[in-house]
Chains A and B, each alone.
Chain A
Amino acid sequence: AQSVTQPDIHITVSEGASLELRCNYSYGATPYLFWYVQSPGQGLQLLLKYFSGDTLVQGIKGFEAEFKRSQSSFNLRKPSVHWSDAAEYFCAVGPSPAGRRALTFGSGTRLQVQP
Chain B
Amino acid sequence: GAVVSQHPSWVICKSGTSVKIECRSLDFQATTMFWYRQFPKQSLMLMATSNEGSKATYEQGVEKDKFLINHASLTLSTLTVTSAHPEDSSFYICSASFRRNSANYGYTFGSGTRLTVV
A residues with CB within 8 A of B: 34, 36, 41-46, 49, 90, 94, 97-103, 105-108, 110
The answer to whether A100 and B114 touch (CB under 8 A), given A34-B106, A105-B43, is: no
Query: When the two chains form the complex, which single residue of A41, A46, A90 contacts B112, counting CB atoms closer than 8 Å?
Result: A41
Select the stretch in B11-19, B62-70, B92-100 that faces chain A.
B92-100
CA A105 to CA B37, docked complex, whole Å: 12
Question: Which residues of chain B have C-beta atoms less than 8 A from A41's C-beta?
Answer: 91, 112, 114
The main secondary structure of chain B at its interface with chain A is strand
Q: List 18 A-B contacts (CB under 8 A).
A: A34-B106, A41-B112, A41-B114, A42-B111, A43-B6, A43-B109, A44-B44, A44-B93, A45-B109, A46-B108, A97-B105, A98-B106, A98-B107, A102-B95, A103-B95, A105-B43, A107-B43, A108-B42
B25 proximal to A (CB < 8 A): no
Asked if A106 and B107 sit within 8 Å, CB to CB, the answer is: no
User: In the complex, how many residue pairs between chain A and chain B have their CB atoms under 8 Å apart?
Assistant: 58
- 5 A-B pairs closest in CB distance: A98-B105, A43-B111, A44-B109, A43-B109, A98-B97
Interface membership of chain B positions 1-43, coded 1 if the CB is closer than 8 angstroms to chain A and 0 otherwise: 0000010000000000000000000000001101000000111
CA A94 to CA B49, docked complex, whole Å: 14
Asked if A43 and B110 sit within 8 Å, CB to CB, the answer is: yes
B46 proximal to A (CB < 8 A): yes
Asked if B49 and A102 sit within 8 Å, CB to CB, the answer is: yes
Q: How many residues of B contact A (CB 8 A)?
A: 26
Question: Which residues of chain A have C-beta atoms less than 8 A from B41's C-beta?
Answer: 110
**Could you tell me the distance in whole angstroms from the C-beta of B20 to the nearest C-beta in chain A?**
18
Question: Which residues of chain A have C-beta atoms less than 8 A from B49's C-beta?
Answer: 100-102
Asked if B97 and A100 sit within 8 Å, CB to CB, the answer is: yes
Question: Which residues of chain B have C-beta atoms less than 8 A from A99's C-beta?
Answer: 32, 97
CA A83 to CA B44, docked complex, whole Å: 25
